[in-house]
Structure 1
Amino acid sequence: MTYAQTMEFINSFGHAGAPVKDLSRMEALLSALGNPHRQLKFIHIAGTNGKGSTLTYCAESTIAAGICTGMFTSPYILCYEDRIRVNGENIPREALCRLAARVAACAPVLPFSQFEITLAIALLYFLERGCELVFLEVGIGGLLDATNVVDPLVSVITSISLDHTALLGNTVEEIAAQKAGILKPHRPAVLAPANQPSVCDVIRSRAEAVDSLLVEAEQLPLEILRQDIAGSAFVYGGMSYELSMPGLHQIHNAMTALCVLQLLRQQGYAIPEEAIHRGLLRARVPARIQVLSREPLILLDGGHNPDGTEALGDTLQAYAPKPIYGVVGLIDTKDYLHAVANLEQVMQQVYCVDGFAPNAVPASVLASGFTRIPAVPLPLEEAFAQAVQLARASGGTAAICGSLYLASRFMQLNNMNKM
């Protein structure tokens, strides 16, 4: 298949596929492909926020250690191929087309989702490349997510909060139970710090039920030495580390990653401390409070749910020059009014945008949600120009934030084609 034919094939499947009650649909597809998931070693990562950053801290460290490392993330940021990477490099289009044709030829006649088809392609690619470790990010939830067909070396639960409530439940406890579904019998697991006590109780209960050793990242001592917009320095478990991504939440993600890496070392993987230090410092995820400019300070962030915008707000309040001017776009499947409430506590003025996704909240509707600060609906490029002009004149900050789809669109418009 050509690249155009490949994308037509992938896009012929719905985003969700038919509802599932078990994993038999994904298992049938992988069985037809020779069960590639049974020939690979996984670290399986679920959570509401922090999955991508935790995965990147881990993967950069194992890459630095010379371990052939697969990375599966969602959604894509710049192009479809950036969801499937080996040693930090996107799957080549040639391999994507060839493996998609193989999936198309073997796929049973079942109502698959795009995610399931993508996962099948990824697993074939990781096997073809001889990946020694694969860091696998859950799509939605955990228990019934297509990725849950794997038997991981380590399961990871990052920060859990309210999101995807229509699918996962209306309380954090119900959502935590879905995420905890990735914990497997007799396999160790890591729980990220700063989760709510009731969430921790749910995860602990599941770990006990399946006899999984649960490592809680916040049980080791933490001392923060430095935090600013350029990152942080901290001592964790008696060792010093530096990060290039800012925010307390990134320290929490790194703590989680460090626990995962220690468990991998205990299972025989040679990951020297020097590689971990290098990996953590090198790790960067696009559109996670990404610094685009220092003078004036311009940030790009795709923290689309309430916890994500709260983390952005905390970082802006602590480290960004004031006043702060926002370019904000959100989608209607998220709790956008909660996100608005978080952002208007730290911003001076916002420009509201739409057109970056089919389900973007109309700019005028989004603007009406801001009640404490001025909010003006504008096209994206004009909104960005206005925010930067105001930031430059005042010595303040411009922040493009909200939906990850907005961040992706902004990066495409500005030819930011490097992950």
Structure 2
Amino acid sequence: MWETVFHRMISQLIHTGQLVVTYPDGRETVYGPDDAPAARVRITDRATIRALCLNPELALGEGYMDGTILPENDDLEGLLRVLMRNRQESRMPAWVRWATRLRYFAQTWILRNTESSAQRNVAHHYDISDDLYRMFLDEDMQYSCAYFAHPDMTLEEAQAAKKAHIAAKLRIEPGMRVLDIGCGWGGMAMTLARDCGARVTGVTLSENQLATARRRADAAGLSDRIDFRLQDYRTVEGPFDRIVSVGMLEHVGVPHYGEYFGKVADLLEPDGIALIHTIGACSPPFAQSRWITKYIFPGGYIPSMSELAGPIERAGLWNYDVEVLRLHYAMTLRHWLARFDAHLDEVRRKYDERFVRMWRYYLIACYMTFEEDKQAVFQFQLGKRIDALPITRDYLYAGEDRIDDRKAAE
């Protein structure tokens, strides 16, 4: 029964490219025209076929993790490319469409991140081990989208360019008080303190990241200019001249956007500037990936531009500038995957094979989403006063050059 349902579902789904499926009994079926992109996959048991019929997105990730879904030559990218090119909700079975809509409407309750639940969600992903992240991140441990001013940049160069780009947007001067919401392992805070002369308060909910950030600041001789804290942003007291938040808004949740941007407004000086850097969807709001929220980022949510505009306006903030970084995160993730794969033997010694397949699925699925779907990175430049920034963008690139000159002089 379930193989028949699955066959009908895939027959209706694949219109672009070709997918060849080998069923558990060895039977091979071709779906779609003889055209690119193309992929071949073997499904090893009937339970996986049933799961794919009931919850395709979750079952695909779990099947790959468990080794019951086997792309030929482990070409997961090819398989995902075919599926993403053909992903249309109208072609899915009615029960899948209804389940997706119910999950979307339930997100208002599911994504209520209290201070305690937010800390649990952060610990799930960020308190695994620094050793794992060192295997694939750049030397500064920037776990967010890099900025590829040139496509041939190294990961280190692109992450340094990202920090310089953000610092230029913030217009930081020596002695300014800066709040880093979701400071991670401290790289952004250290850059702003060292290269711009700022006095930085960094807050995180990850005990692991906090310990590492403090050690790094101490080793760099920056402890007198940076205060790293284990603290929820909602309890921080200001004011601050500048606020930066990179890759943290994805963990806030739709019900808390008003609270988040209201807090940013409360913490900013009257002439202050905030830079919010977040993954975003260039599409109407949608239900989040069940696989991602179950295994990688519990409580996570990728906002659409339309979901952020209202809370920003109601907080009384000027939206000075919005930049949409397209494909930069796909390039970043491809660098991460290459470094992760270069350490596979070491990863396997520390974790089991299922973990390895989970992490590779996460990295590949993410860069495929940035390449094939309407997903990008938004940088919102916010403030209270109409004249807190120049009225043209010319200052941005001069600011980046000034930061590079300071670094070269050291």
* TM-score class, shorter: under 0.3
Question: With structure 1 as the length reference, what TM-score do the two structures score?
Answer: 0.27
* Greater Rg by CA: 2
Judging by fraction of residues, say which structure has more helix: 2
